[in-house]
């Protein structure tokens, strides 16, 4: 295996992840959900969105959960997550 083979495989994997992310972003946008950012963690897309009623619906049905609770500049928060088409989708909620 040559270095160029590794680069080619890495590029193909990244392109695949970007295509999946695009599909998820289009799906979220169609639901009226605002996408704040996208990043890649370990080669997998992580999409940050604004909180939306759809998140609550997924949480109630067990398809999303809260994984992180913390205290930031704007007070206490919790962070929710669900997976769609191999992409992690995350959002934060303030706890008042």
What gap in Å lies between CA 62 and CA 49, rounded to an integer?
19
Reported pTM: 0.84
Q: Work out the percent of the chain whose per-residue pLDDT is above 90.
A: 68
Domain extent, residue 25, equals 3-94
Q: What pLDDT sits at residue 96?
A: 62
pLDDT in tens, 59-82: 999 999 998 887 877 778 899 999
What gap in Å lies between CA 2 and CA 8, rounded to an integer?
10
What gap in Å lies between CA 69 and CA 92, rounded to an integer?
9
Q: How many domains is the chain partitioned into structurally?
A: 1
pLDDT in tens, 13-64: 889 999 999 999 999 999 999 999 999 998 899 999 999 999 999 999 999 9
Which residues, at least 6 apart from 42, have a Cβ–Cβ distance to it below 8 Å?
A: none
């Amino acid at each position: 295996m040559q270095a160029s083979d590794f680069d080619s495989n890495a590029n193909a994997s990244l392109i695949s992840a970007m295509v999946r992310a695009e599909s998820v972003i289009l799906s979220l946008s169609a639901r009226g959900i605002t996408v704040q950012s996208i990043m890649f963690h370990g080669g997998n897309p992580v999409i940050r969105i604004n909180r939306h009623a759809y998140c609550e619906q997924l949480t109630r049905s067990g398809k999303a959960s809260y994984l992180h609770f913390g205290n930031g500049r704007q007070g206490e928060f919790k962070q929710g997550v669900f997976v769609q088409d191999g992409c992690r989708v995350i959002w934060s909620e303030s706890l008042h």
